[in-house]
Amino acid sequence: MLSPPLLRLFPGRLSAFPLFLLALLLGFASLLWLQLSCSGEGPAPGGQHRGVPRQPCPPPAPLQPPEEDPAWGPHRLALLVPFRERFEELLAFVPYMHRFLSKKRIRHRIFILNQVDHFRFNRASLINVGFLESGNDTDYIAMHDVDLLPLNEHLDYSFPEAGPFHVASPELHPLYHYKTYVGGILLLTKQHYELCNGMSNRFWGWGREDDEFYRRIKGAGLQVRRPSGITTGYETFQHLHDPAWRKRDQKRIAAQKQEQFKVDREGGLNNVRYRIESRTDLSVAGAPCTVLNILLDCDTNETPWCTFG
Q: What pLDDT does residue 216 have?
A: 95
Q: Quick: pLDDT tens for 194-236.
A: 999 999 999 988 768 899 999 999 999 999 999 999 999 999 9
- Give the three-class secondary structure for 243: coil
- Greatest Cα pair distance in the chain: 69
Domain presence at residue 64: no
Domain presence at residue 55: no
CA–CA dist 119, 292 (Å, integer): 17
Q: Quick: pLDDT tens for 129-188.
A: 999 999 999 999 999 999 999 999 999 999 999 999 999 999 999 988 999 999 999 999
Domain presence at residue 153: yes
For position 228, which CATH number holds? Answer: 3.90.550.10
**Mean pLDDT value across the chain:** 82
Contacts 24+ apart (CB under 8 A), 57-60: 58/92, 58/93, 58/96, 58/149, 58/238, 58/240, 59/96, 59/149, 59/151, 59/238
Q: Quick: pLDDT tens for 256-307.
A: 555 655 778 889 999 999 999 999 999 999 999 999 999 999 998 888 888 8
Q: Which helix (H) or strand (E) holds 67?
A: none
Tally of structural domains, the chain: 1
Domain presence at residue 33: no
Domain presence at residue 58: no
Domain presence at residue 59: no
Domain presence at residue 181: yes
- Give the three-class secondary structure for 85: coil
Q: What pLDDT does residue 20 have?
A: 55
Residue 41's pLDDT band (cuts 50, 70, 90): very low
Q: Which helix (H) or strand (E) holds 123?
A: helix 123-133
Indicate the pTM of the whole model.
0.76
Percent of the chain with pLDDT over 90: 59
Q: What pLDDT does residue 90 have?
A: 92
Residue 63's pLDDT band (cuts 50, 70, 90): very low
Domain presence at residue 229: yes
At position 201, the amino acid (one-letter code) is N
Structural domain containing residue 204: 77-296
CA–CA dist 77, 63 (Å, integer): 21
Q: What pLDDT does residue 308 have?
A: 75
Q: What pLDDT does residue 183 have?
A: 94
Q: What pLDDT does residue 253 have?
A: 57
User: Which residues, in sequence order, are CB contacts of 140 under 8 Å at separation 6+?
Assistant: 75, 76, 77, 78, 159, 160, 187, 188, 189, 190
